[in-house]
Amino acid sequence: MQRNVAPTRSNLLKLTDDLKFAKLGYELLDQKRSILVVELLTLVDQAVDYQARVDKALASASESMQNTVMEMGRLRVANLFGAVTIDSTISLSDRKVMGVRLPHVETSFIAKGPYFSPEGTTLSIEGTLDAYKEALELMGRLAELKVSIMRLAREVKKTIRKVNALEKIVIPDLQETLAYTESRMEEAERESFMLLKQVKNRMERQRQRAAEAKHD
């Protein structure tokens, strides 16, 4: 509580406005916190799902690679994949959620095939290429989700600190200061009223004495 505030009407109006502003800020920040938490939980659920999909895709790609090596031999597969020319592009953009920038990752591939003659190859080698491309796309999406979760979690933490500060420190302090200032103003008004009453009584007594002296 601020005890050094002069008990004036202008200060009382200022404290009232400050209290209204603090309460409005608390309501807005509390709404922001709720929205951010909902978004954060949604992204966490998605990240759990994508983590499972990435693990499954990598396992599938690894299994496909092993099968291809068994069918064609390690040296043959190494030579064939060395001839593969696929350009990958990762496009980054962002979106905003309550002022927080969240990334959006788009992975695309530009193929320049055919990479090798189909003679002496098996279909599994194409399947292996597709499996690894799918895994890379999923990993890009998972990275997007993880970065978004970190940024949202950081913003939620900051917002919670601000909400708690307003709720537990700023608003109670302003309320106490406002009540203290009002009580001091009421006390000052009572003292002023008593003083005016005393002055009025004294002036009436003086008039009575003056009237009595004139009558004598």
pLDDT at position 214: 67
pLDDT at position 216: 58
Taking alpha carbons only, the member of 42, 40, 133 closest to residue 81 is 133
Tokens 């890009």 label which residue?
Answer: 140
Is-above-0.75 flag for pTM?
Answer: no
**C-alpha 27: how far from its chain's center?**
15
- What's the half-sphere exposure (Cβ side, CA atoms, 13 Å) at 73? 5
> Encoding tokens for residue 84?
């593969």
pLDDT at position 120: 55
| Residues with pLDDT less than 50, the chain | none
Q: Which domains does the chain have, with CATH numbers?
A: 9-163 (1.10.287.3240)
- The Cα 76–Cα 134 span in angstroms is 23
pLDDT at position 6: 67
